[in-house]
Amino acid sequence: MSTIKTLPAPTSTYQLLLDAADTWPDGVATQWIPEPADYTRCQAWTYAELAGTVTQIANALTALGVRREDAVTLCGVNNSMLYAATLAAQAVGIAAPVNPALSGERIAELVRRTGSRVLVAAGPELDPQLWPRLLEVAGQTGMTAIVALRPDGALGEPPALGGTGLVVSYLDDLIAGHPSGYLADASLPTAGDLAAFVPTGGTTGAPKVAAHTHANQLACAQGIAASSGLVGGEGALGGLPLFHVNALIVTGIAPMFHGGRVVWPGPAGYRDPALYARFWKIIEHYRIAAMSAVPTVYSRLAQIPVDADIAALRLPIVGAAPLPSSVREDFAAHTGRRLLEGYGLTEATCATTWTRPGDERPGSVGRVLPGQQVKAVRIGDEGSWADCAHGETGVLAIGGPAVFAGYVTDPDLGGPRVSREGVVRDGWLNTGDLGRVDADGFVYLAGRAKDLIIRGGHNIDPQVIEEALLRHPAVGAAAAVGRPDRHSGEVPVAYVVPAGPGEFDEAGLLAWARTVISEPAARPKRIYPIDAIPVTAVGKQFKPALTADAAVRAVTEALTAAGLPDARVTAAHEDGQLVLTTTGADPDRIREAVAGFALAVRSGSSPAFQTAT
What's the rounded Cα separation, in Å, for the pair 210 and 431? Answer: 13
Residue 447 lies in a domain: no
223 near 351, Cβ under 8 Å? yes
Dihedral of CA 282/287/291/297: which sign?
positive
Residue 388 lies in a domain: yes
Residue 2 lies in a domain: no
* Domain C-terminal end among 464, 498, 533: 533
pLDDT at 457: 57
100 near 129, Cβ under 8 Å? no
Residue 104 lies in a domain: yes
Domain that holds residue 106: 13-437
Q: What residue type is 227 in one-letter code? A: S
pTM for the whole structure:
0.80
| 557: alpha, beta or left? (left if phi > 0; alpha if psi -120 to 50) | alpha
CATH number at residue 526: 3.30.300.30
* Positions in the chain short of pLDDT 70: 1-6, 8, 201-207, 321-322, 447-450, 456-459, 536-540, 574-577, 604-613
What's the rounded Cα separation, in Å, for the pair 481 and 548? Answer: 10
Q: How many helices (H) and strands (E) does the chain have?
A: 15, 33
151 near 267, Cβ under 8 Å? yes
β-pair partners for 448: 433
Q: Are residues 524 and 596 in the same domain?
A: no
In this structure, the strands spanning 118-122 and 94-98 are unpaired
252: DSSP letter? T
Angle at 212 between CA 209 and CA 213, to 5 degrees: 150
CATH number at residue 165: 3.40.50.12780
Q: Are residues 203 and 332 in the same domain?
A: yes
The residues, any chain, with a CB within 8 Å of residue 269's CB and separated by 6 or more, are 78, 238, 239, 240, 241, 275
Q: Helix, strand or coil for residue 575? A: coil
Q: Are residues 467 and 413 in the same domain?
A: no
Residue 126 lies in a domain: yes
Q: Are residues 210 and 351 in the same domain?
A: yes
Q: Are residues 144 and 165 in the same domain?
A: yes
Q: Are residues 150 and 25 in the same domain?
A: yes
Q: Are residues 565 and 489 in the same domain?
A: no
pLDDT at 205: 44
* Domain C-terminal end among 533, 560, 579: 533
Residue 8 lies in a domain: no
* Domain C-terminal end among 533, 562, 589: 533
Q: Are residues 272 and 307 in the same domain?
A: yes
Residue 40 lies in a domain: yes
Residue 390 lies in a domain: yes
What's the rounded Cα separation, in Å, for the pair 496 and 530? Answer: 6
Give the DSSP per-residue string, 429-488.
EEEEEEEEE-TTSEEEEEEEGGG-EEETTEEE-HHHHHHHHHTSTTEEEEEEEEEEETTT
Q: Are residues 321 and 414 in the same domain?
A: yes
pLDDT at 439: 94
Q: Are residues 220 and 327 in the same domain?
A: yes
The residues, any chain, with a CB within 8 Å of residue 575's CB and separated by 6 or more, are 206
Q: Are residues 394 and 261 in the same domain?
A: yes
pLDDT at 582: 86
Dihedral of CA 217/219/222/223: which sign?
negative
* Residue 245: how many other CB atoms lie within 10 Å: 29
Give the H or E element holding residue 508: helix 506-516
User: Nearest 5°: phi and psi at 603?
Assistant: -105, 115
User: Nearest 5°: phi and psi at 558?
Assistant: -65, -40
Dihedral of CA 226/229/232/238: which sign?
negative
Dihedral of CA 290/292/295/300: which sign?
negative
Q: How many domains does the chain have?
A: 3
Q: Are residues 249 and 375 in the same domain?
A: yes
What's the rounded Cα separation, in Å, for the pair 99 and 122? Answer: 11
